[in-house]
Amino acid sequence: MIGRRRFSGIMAALLAVCGTSAAAKPADLGSDLQIKQGTLRAAPRDGNGVLTYKGIPYAAPPVAQLRWKAPQPAPNWQGTRDATVFGKRCLSAWKQDREPGPPRSEDCLTINVWTGAATSKDKRPVMVWIHGGGFQFGSATSRQFEGTPLASKGVIVVTLNYRVGVLGFLAHSDLDREGASGNYGLQDQLAALRWVKANIASFGGDPKIVTIFGESAGAHAVGILMVSPLAKGLFQKAIGQSGAFWDTPNGPLESFDEARARGANFAKKLNAGSIADLRAMPAETINAAAPWDFSMNPAVKTFSPNVDRYVIPDFPSARYARKQQMRIPLLAGWNEAEEHPFDALGLPHSNAKEFRTAAQAMFGADRMDEFLDLYPADSDAQANTSSAALTGDIVISEQIWQWLEFQKKTRMPVYGYKFSYTSPYTPIASHITEIPFVFGTLTPQFVIGSTAPPAQADRDFSGKLMSYWVNFAKSGNPNGPGLPHWPSFGKGTIQHLAEPIRAQANDREARFRFIASYRQDGVLPHRWRNVSLRGPSGSERSAH
C-alpha cells in the first residue's frame, strides 16, 4: 500500500507533468471569448474594467421564408467574430428616430453583453434589459442603455433587439398553420433569454440568477412573460418600469380573433392572396404599409402583443387574477407625470362639460359622483388637470399598482415605487425620465425637451437608484448599506424616489381602486374599445 505522503508526492508530479496544479485558477476573461457559436472579439477592457461584446446573433436572421416564423437558432461561425459594433436595429413602424444609430434592417436579432467579471467562474447576477417603444420602435443601441455603469457594480448587463410592428406582431390564420402567429417579437425575447441561459456563464454570469427589466413596452413585456408558460425557468426576478399588462383606455390587448381580423385586413390592403405573397414583398414595403405615430393607440390600432394562445394563453391580467403568474420577486413602479408624452390621450376635455359627458359614457352615470370626487371638473382648468391625471392613471400607473397587488398575493417579495425626482436636468418626472438614472448614463432628457446637463446631485441620485436595482438583481431585495430603507409593498406603502428618498403611502390609491373596480376577472371592459379618445382637434389620441 502506498503511504499518504508518497501518494501526495506522486499526484503533485503528475499535475506538474500535465501543466497544471491543484490551486490553478480559471483563465481571466479577455477580449477574445469562446461561446457556443464561435469566438468573439471585443475591445479591451475600459477604464471601469468592463468588457463589451456587441452585435452577437442570438437567432437566425428572420428574413425570406423565416419572416413571421418563430426565431430559429443562430448559425455558428468560423474564425473570430468582431463584437465591437452594435448589430442593425429592427425596422420601425415609427419613422422619427430620436437618436442616431445603426441602420434599420429586417436582419436585426442581436444581443449585447457588458461584463466586469474577471473569470468565467465569477457567476455574477445577470440583468437583461427589454427596451420600450410601444412595440413599434426602439432598439438596444440607445445611449441610454449603455451597460458599463451597471456592470461596474457587479452584474452582467444584457440588451437585445426584437421584432416590432407588423414584422413582429402580425397574426393571421394562414400563419397559424405553420405555428402560433401574432407574437414573434415576444418569441424573440424568449429566444434571447434562452441564449442567455446557454451562454452567459462564458461571460462570468450565473444563468440561475437572471433578472429581466424593462420600461414602457419593455415593462409590459416583463409583465406578459411572467404569465407565459414558455418563460418558465428563464429568469428569477423581474423589474417593471412604467408598464404591466399592455392595458389601455380602450381595454385589454387584442383578443385572438381581433388580431387575426387585423392581419386578414392587412393582407387584403396589400392585395396579397397568400402568406407567400407577403413574404415575397420587400420588408420595407410591408413595414411602410403599417405605419404608427402618436396619434394611434398601438395596443388596439396597430400590430402589437395579442392573445395568441401560445406565448399569451389568455389576457395577462386575467392570468394574474387567477394566480397563474410566476412566483418570483417583483420590483415595479410608475413616474409622477406619466401622462406627459401622452397629454393628447384621454377623454375629450376642451371644457368641463365635455369632459364630464365623456367620463359618464365611459364610467357610467351611476358612478359620476364617485368619479368627480377623484377627478373633479368644476371648471375648465380643473377638467384639464383631471384629464391629465386620468390619462396617466389609466395608460400606465393603475395597471402597475394592480400588478403589485396581484404579485403580493403570491407571498413573494414585492417592492413598489413612484419616481418623482426633478432637477434642472429632469424638470418633469415624465414617462421614461427614470431610465438614464437607472443605467447611470444621464443622457439628454429628450422626451421633455430638456438639454440641461446633469449635475452632481443628479449623479448622486442615479447612484442610489443603480444600487437599488443591482441589489434587487442580486438578492430580490433592493435594500443595502448607505441607502434609505425600502419597505416591501403592502398596505399602500411605496418608495418615493425623489429627493429625499423616503417610504410613503400611495397618494393615488383611491383613484387606482376606482379604475380597478371596472376589471372583471382582472380584465378591463371590452366595451371601452368604443370609447372616444378624440379631443378638441378631433384627432385620435396617442397611447404608450
pLDDT tens-digit map of 171-223? 999 999 999 999 999 999 999 999 999 999 999 999 999 999 999 999 999 99
- The string of pLDDT tens digits covering residues 222-265 is 999 999 999 999 999 999 999 999 999 999 999 999 999 999 99
As a whole number of angstroms, the distance between CA 542 and CA 38 comes to: 44
- Tally of domains within the chain: 1
Q: Which of the residues 131, 172, 340, 431 is marked catalytic?
A: 431
Q: Which of the residues 338, 354, 398, 434 is marked catalytic?
A: 338
Instruction: Assess whether 172 carries a catalytic annotation.
Output: no
Instruction: Assess whether 340 carries a catalytic annotation.
Output: no
In a domain, 144, yes or no: yes
**Residue 96 confidence (pLDDT):** 73
Q: Which of 386, 407, 346 is nearest to 508 (CA)?
A: 386
Q: Residues near 286 by Cβ (< 8 Å), separated by ≥ 6? A: 166, 167, 270, 278
Q: Residues near 268 by Cβ (< 8 Å), separated by ≥ 6? A: none
Q: Which of the residues 120, 216, 242, 304 is marked catalytic?
A: 216
Check: CB of residue 541 under 8 Å from CB of residue 533.
yes
Instruction: Assess whether 216 carries a catalytic annotation.
Output: yes
In a domain, 15, yes or no: no
Low-confidence ranges of the chain (pLDDT < 70): 1-27, 98, 344, 532-544
In a domain, 27, yes or no: no
The CA dihedral of 64, 65, 69, 74, to the nearest 10 degrees, is -70
In a domain, 324, yes or no: yes
Range of the domain at 194: 32-530
DSSP designation for 106: S
CATH code for the domain of 431: 3.40.50.1820
